[in-house]
Chain A
């Protein structure tokens, strides 16, 4: 297996557009599973409207609030099931992730059976890594929230409302940054697990060993780029609106470009992670 590793310079997301597209397709599929039931409930209310669901997007939100009021219980139930779908997707998403990491690290053409096998092989290690990571995230966040809460009164007394809030937010932000660093290590460990077929604990060690400021920066700039992409999509959609079917289609295309861009940026980061561990 090691013989088939790609040279470091060739480990790029752009070399595997098909796999990236496949991951985007998986996201789109799961997103549709979550969204379609919501849309079905909406369409029950708006199907008879002369302008279909356009009224939901009117300034002021009269009809948007009305549909939330009328369908409150249905939406609540769907939200719960949607979160379960997202949770399940969070786990099953390890399969395309493994396939992507494998594809990024290998040279030459890859067959579908090979990708399928590569996606299943490290599932045990990736599952354990996910469990470790979630536990670590929870621990750090609980710690940050607890410290922030315990110090809240003293901070407010000493620094005033604004200073106290900023101090509390700084504690929480520190926790979030720590979680982000753990997330980067988690990805490095995942890359190690897939590329070198490591067990979970060995992969964790490898992840910590590969972690450094440059790695964090490599992840960070892509996160900022993702946020900028989402912002640009929001501005564009706001300008185009949804008044006509044509405008709706244009916005759909723009949003899906953003969604693909986010997957591509993620793949680009994972390629960087693979480069760190090969």
Chain B
């Protein structure tokens, strides 16, 4: 999901129109402790199952070899854990979906299990007492008034191997500890499923879609059908189910498998879906489209009778763009961005393995369906008239495309570690958007260029002290914090690392991580280990502090001075003789001497350069490893020290004040360019208001 990518949202953040600071305290499963701390990963009250295991420390994570710089070392396919063979019939007038089919699940853990967990996330929109709808989150997606309610009713859940008993009758139909929420459901099994054993379920269900809210629903005859079927939670290798209810800030986590879904819609509807369309049959004014895709962990589809379709091919991938009439120019931009992205993301993080990519641009009014990722399908957004100099179209397209890697191919737990998908993906977005569009990667209008990464930094610094970056989604105090920390601060952390430790090294580390853990479910430690292997242990300490401990830093020049070098004055006893040297005695060849005191506040210790400039224009650059609270840099030169600048290349984007890292010997109050532009701007304004 790209929660902040609707328009110039980080400008909103900049000027205080943030996503809201409401607490999520009412979400009892993740209630913050009074005083501000929270209980990430806390087990749900009454739940027999527990959240997934955090991965061990980097000590137990094997180094990723250089072979993962190449694609041929990557896994070609995912382990097939759960297969869904479903048929979905859409009634676009009643906005309902009738679903039925078979789910085949394999126990890939080391222990026998006697229960399964189903996610029925469409029930999040059932009434105003669900966890989702009663959560006091302001701003952002899913927080507007509910247009209409939606739900999923399971009609049948039969396990033939257990004598055809309907498991739904014995299911615990509410979320543990949340009797008013039905999104996280435990289903006891009549008998155990041994490791390696298989469970086959025959399912039948009815969906009533809500008016578009939080990624799914209808708007007029437009339908975005997501989180629409009973979906198994993922079973971790140690036998613990990674299950969780549907919640505002939480996305998804599941196992890989094959989806074989037949979508039955009125004949006039255009359908886009996960995977490749393998057949189409027409009968009685309706058509049945069969989509099949292996190596994915979700399935969504869209259907609308007004979609315009445009096709393209990029590197062997068939791109299909579905958009409302009149959005042709926007569609072209999205296809061009996807073409660029498939190539560059493929080079950086391993080739895109699927034959298709579907881009869906929802119509105006269905914006909450936009800016979302599904396997082989992404949704975008933006007005048809979005000026070419405003790159929100490219940004959202590249961001959602990036999720094909950071979410799709690297199947991290989005509830536990949202920064592993949204954060890394935001960093990748900033890097590749700048590659594509240059310094004005977000705005390039009338001579003003604003970069996507630069904009994200503002948001990142603003919320940097609110909560740790690497935390479970429900642990964030507000939507603004979630957006600022998970997306923007992760991107800014990696921007800083790239500038300080080298762009190539960071790119190599992320590339190896992405290839090594393709079709797997890595945690934070796998990422940290990958970066440590490339950047070293000092970088690892900084990364841990930045991600886990609200690490921050501010470099500043506290003071500096210089004076003509002179013989030391005073009374000296040398070899039994006393001599007196008066202050101001002859110096040593007209040299000047002095020092600059540079401080480092905060918990992050990045190496920086300190630039000292003399009155004669001479510049000296002194490196500082950044360790310790301060450094006093000696100065010797032919003339007076005039300016000192710490981090002159502005490498440390995590620096909380970029303007206090400078000192000037005879400072003025000069801002000539600002006063020129400001006056001219005011003159133009006055043309409009003065008669």
Contacts and interface: CB of A to CB of B under 8 A. Distances in A.
Chain A contact residues: helix, strand, loop or mixed: helix
B59 interface: no
Contacts of B676: 248, 251-252, 255
Interface string A58-93: 011111111111101000000000100011011001
B327 interface: yes
Interface stretch (B30-38, B105-113, B661-669): B661-669
B574 interface: no
Interface stretch (A46-54, A137-145, A200-208): A46-54
A201 B385 CA distance: 44
Contact of B447 (A31, A39, A238): A238
B238 interface: no
Interface string B670-684: 111111101111111
Given A31-B683, A86-B686, A50 B664 contact: yes
Contacts of B447: 234, 237-238
B674 A56 contact: yes
Nearest to B363: A161
Given A48-B664, A161-B363, A35 B681 contact: yes
Contact of B683 (A27, A54, A63, A130): A27
A43 interface: yes
Contact of A63 (B16, B658, B681): B658
B686 A65 contact: no
Nearest to A187: B691
B454 A60 contact: yes
A94 B691 CA distance: 6
A66 B658 contact: yes
B674 A161 contact: no
B686 A27 contact: yes
A111 interface: no
A277 B111 CA distance: 96
Contacts of A238: 446-447
B457 interface: yes
A32 interface: yes
Given A161-B326, A161-B364, A162-B327, A230 B684 contact: yes
A272 B135 CA distance: 64
A163 interface: yes
Given A34-B682, A43-B669, A59-B449, A90 B675 contact: no
B525 to A, nearest CB: 32
Contact of A90 (B451, B658, B659, B689): B689
Instruction: Indicate the member of B384, B385, B446, B678 with the most A CB atoms within 10 Å.
Output: B678
Nearest to B462: A69
Contacts of A263: 687
A259 interface: yes
B662 A160 contact: no
Contact of B650 (A62, A64, A162, A230): A62
B687 A262 contact: yes
A234 B648 CA distance: 30
A56 B673 contact: yes
B674 A43 contact: yes
B687 A226 contact: yes
Given A61-B450, A62-B650, A160-B306, A42 B462 contact: no
A59 B440 contact: yes
Instruction: Indicate the member of B220, B451, B691 with the most A CB atoms within 10 Å.
Output: B691
19 contacts: A28-B683, A31-B682, A31-B686, A34-B685, A36-B678, A48-B659, A56-B673, A56-B674, A61-B451, A64-B450, A66-B458, A69-B461, A69-B462, A72-B14, A86-B689, A93-B690, A157-B220, A161-B324, A165-B383
Interface of A: 26-28, 30-32, 34-36, 38-40, 42-50, 52-54, 56-57, 59-70, 72, 82, 86-87, 89-90, 93-94, 97, 126, 130, 156-157, 160-163, 165, 190, 226, 230, 234, 237-238, 242, 245, 248, 251-252, 255-256, 258-259, 262-263, 266
Interface of B: 14-16, 220, 306, 324-327, 363-365, 383-385, 438-440, 443, 446-451, 453-455, 457-458, 461-462, 557, 611, 613, 643, 645, 648, 650, 653, 657-659, 662-664, 667-676, 678-687, 689-691
Given A39-B674, A50-B611, 9 more contacts: A27-B683, A35-B675, A35-B681, A47-B671, A53-B674, A65-B454, A160-B325, A237-B447, A238-B446
